Amino acid sequence: MKRKDIDYSLYLVTARHLLPPNKAFLESLEEAIVGGVTIVQLREKDVDSREFLEQAELCKTVCEKHGVSLIINDRVDVAVAIGADGVHLGQTDMKVAQARMMLPEGSIIGVSCNTVEHVRAAVLDDVDYIGIGSIWGTQTKKLTNPVIGVRGVGPMLEALDGTNIKAIAIGGVKSTNLLRTLYGAVSATNHKLDGIAVVSDIIASKEPLNAAKALKTILSGFQSRGITSMPTRSLTPEILLDGVSHLMEEIRKKVPLVHQITNTVVQTQSANVTLAIGASPIMATEPTEMEDLARFCGSVLINIGTMRADVVESMILAGRAANKFHKPIVLDPVGVGATSFRKNSVKVLLDEWQVGVIKGNAGELAALAGTSEVKSRGVDSVGLGFSDPVAFVRNLARRERCTVVLTGSTDYISDGVCVVGLKNGNEVLGKITGAGCILGSCIASFCAISAQLSESSEAGHLVQGDMFIAAITGVLVLTVAADIAMEKPEVCGPGTFLPGLIDVLWSLTPAQLRGAAKISVL
Ligand code: TPS
């Protein structure tokens, strides 16, 4: 087989000790291959050479029967002895150049990589593929290196740009997190994975055929949707406002439920604003009801404003369930730069699930992106903000693979390709508590209706709906309503502003919004 013909999409790494009781190794292996495994790595730890060779011969027979490649872990001598297709080398195994000298011409060489430096070395060694791991925590291998996280894969893939080296993600990958893994493990340059490798999800299964099939279905659904390619849009304010008007009309007709785990300071006003724009709020934090809620709610808002350690679990479960049912997640990382608890919690959440929209002020988004360009005080940002906010939101959206809303005197919104600037909104919004939080509720409500209207319910589509238009709608509705509310004779300050705002939200029409919207495509 020529090197380039190898299909790395579903890569099985073996582990005989993980087989369920009464399951024979070769039987399991064959079922897994029939279920869709495209390449096999025999991984034997703590066995003597004779036993390793025997197992390798047996595996080779099964693999050859089904036309899949067999790779040997670590032991180059075993690979040579049985005529395997190649070897997989860890960072502490034999060096690539040495292995290449021992192996026949055309053999596959793969290397485990945990850092960008490892990837660079693998590129210099001109290996055939790299195994990027561990993506998630795993029980299968004692990890000596840190868990990378789905969001850590992008820079490693980027280091492969311009090469022909294939990339596989490994470590805790399961059918339950595969879509999240595929969706998130993409570089800002749109370099994607060529496959995923699993041990326990297949080997420890009593039904390896079905386990492999489940993974295969998600893999092919994902590929056929081509969801990882950035959408190319040529948008004008008019086209965007058509989309906004449509969502404003539909939300009142369909009244989507919006699950909100939010700030306890502003729960009531968030719920009232949600009702006023035509959606229906559910403010619930009990971990055991998260999955049921995701089933029938249109979206979930996660706001960390008054987050406690005991709510993190609910947030994880809520987002995981939302991803499972293809419902958008809106993350409001309130004051994320203020404490390490918030910073760590947001990292956990973003690694765990694929978010649809992230909304924050300059200080919050700077903290999230890890730049020191913007300073914050408590939950507010101070100073001038970003020198190039357009590039900043676009890059963050690409990196997190979601829509990003940067709030400020101009609000910037990007889906990673297009950036719009919105200039509505009133300074009185800054004088009531939780203005940002109610904006999160507005965005989540329009994400819910957008998802509900989107017809695509294929397995490959992790985030349904048009998050970009939904976020623009959420921001415009609130900020235009704020402008109109301030014109009302009965509104004379922050106290009367909030009820006035809720009244305007309640009666705001698409035509009114169109007339007042200050939107530009940047
Ligand atoms: C292609 N490796 C990293 S995590 C892990 C292993 C064996 C355990 C995953 O188990 N890349 C390739 N082959 C390898 N052997 C490694 C990396 C090293 P589970 O799927 O049960 O979490």
Domain limit, last residue, from 225, 258, 292: 225
Confidence at 142, pLDDT banded by 50, 70, 90: confident
Q: 209 with 267, same domain? A: no
CA-173 nearest atom, ligand 1: 20
Do 86 and 14 lie in a common domain?
Answer: yes
Q: Establish whether the linkage from the previous residue to 205 is cis, with ω within 30° of 0.
A: no
Say yes or no: 206 and 283 in one domain: no
Alpha-helical runs (H) found in 410-493: 435-453, 467-487
CA 313 to chain centre: 18
Q: What pLDDT score was predicted for residue 227?
A: 42
70 found inside a domain: yes
Q: Cβ-count burial of 511 within 10 angstroms (0-12 exposed, 13-18 middle, 19+ buried)?
A: exposed
| pLDDT tens digits for range 342-395 | 999 999 999 999 999 999 999 999 999 988 777 655 555 555 678 899 999 999
Q: Does one domain contain both 80 and 213?
A: yes
pLDDT digits (tens, 9 = 90+) for 234-276: 789 999 999 999 999 999 999 999 999 998 899 999 999 999 9
Residues 445 and 358 in one domain: yes
Q: What is the mean pLDDT of residues 194-210?
A: 97
When pLDDT is cut at 50, 70 and 90, the band that residue 228 belongs to is very low
Asked whether the beta carbons of 218 and 10 are under 8 A apart, the reply is no
Read off the pLDDT of residues 72-122 as tens digits, 9 standing for 90 and up: 999 999 999 999 999 999 999 999 999 999 999 999 999 999 999 999 999
* Residues with active-site annotation: 437
Q: Report the run of H or E that residue 376 belongs to, with start and end.
A: strand 375-377
Q: What are phi and psi of 226, to 5 degrees?
A: 60, 35
Residue 239 domain flag: no
Which of 209, 225, 241 terminates a domain? The answer is 225
Same domain, 219 and 256: no
Same domain, 211 and 320: no
Say if 302 falls within a structural domain. Answer: yes
Do residues 277 and 165 both lie within one domain?
Answer: no
pLDDT for 6-15, tens place per residue? Answer: 999 999 999 9
Rounded to the nearest angstrom, the distance between the alpha carbon of 90 and the centre of ligand 1 is: 10
Q: Which of 6, 75, 156, 199 to mutate to test the pocket of ligand 1 (most atoms within 8 A of CB)?
A: 199
Average pLDDT (322-341) is 93
CA distance 42 to 361: 50
For residues 176 and 322, state if they share a domain.
no
pLDDT digits (tens, 9 = 90+) for 398-445: 888 899 999 999 999 999 889 999 999 988 888 888 888 999 999 999
Residue at 237 is within a domain: no
What is the total count of domains within the chain? 2
- Check which CATH number belongs to the domain holding 443 and give it: 3.40.1190.20
- CB of 198 shorter than 6 A to ligand 1: yes
Q: What are phi and psi of 490, to 5 degrees?
A: -80, -10
Phi, psi of 340 (to 5 degrees): -70, -25
41 lies in some domain: yes
Query: Within this chain, do residues 221 and 170 fall inside the same structural domain, yes or no?
Result: yes
Residue 190's nearest CA partner among 464, 404, 401 is: 401
The reply to whether 242 falls in a domain is no
> How far does residue 169's CA lie from ligand 1's centre (Å)?
9
Same domain, 300 and 364: yes
Query: What's the domain range around 185?
Result: 3-225
Tell me what the mean pLDDT of segment 505-517 comes to.
96
- pLDDT surpasses 50 at 480: yes
Name which residue leads in pLDDT, 20 or 146: 20
Task: Determine the distance separating the centroid of ligand 1 and the alpha carbon of 312, expressed in angstroms.
Answer: 28
